[in-house]
Amino acid sequence: MQTAANTAATNIAPPEKLTIHPAWGRLTHWINAVAMLMMVGSGWEIYNASPLFPFVFPKTITLGGWLAGALLWHFAAMWVLAVNGLVYVALGLATGRFRRKLLPIRAGDVIADARSALRGQLSHDDLSVYNAVQKLLYFGVILAGFVIILSGLAIWKSVQLQELTALFGGYEAARYVHFFAMAMIVGFLVIHIVMALVVPKSLRAILTGR
Ligand code: HEM
Ligand code: HEM
Euclidean distance between CA atoms 169 and 150, whole angstroms: 13
Euclidean distance between CA atoms 48 and 41, whole angstroms: 11
> For position 196, what pLDDT does the model report?
96
Helix ranges (DSSP H) in 3-131: 4-12, 15-18, 23-49, 67-94, 97-102, 107-118
How close is the Cα of 4 to the center of ligand 2, in Å?
38
Mean pLDDT of all residues in 77-94: 98
Grouping H, G, I as helix, E, B as strand and the rest as coil, residue 135 is helix
Euclidean distance between CA atoms 70 and 152, whole angstroms: 14
How close is the Cα of 40 to the center of ligand 1, in Å?
8
For residue 70, which of 99, 45, 89, 107 has the smallest C-alpha distance?
45
For residue range 11-42, list pLDDT tens digits in order.
555 555 679 999 999 999 999 999 999 999 99
* Residues 48/57, Cβ–Cβ less than 8 Å: yes
> For position 2, what pLDDT does the model report?
46
How close is the Cα of 30 to the center of ligand 2, in Å?
8
For residue 171, which of 160, 156, 155, 147 has the smallest C-alpha distance?
155
Ligand 2 binding pocket includes 185 (Cβ within 6 Å): yes
pLDDT at 4 over 50: no
The verdict on pTM exceeding 0.75 is: yes
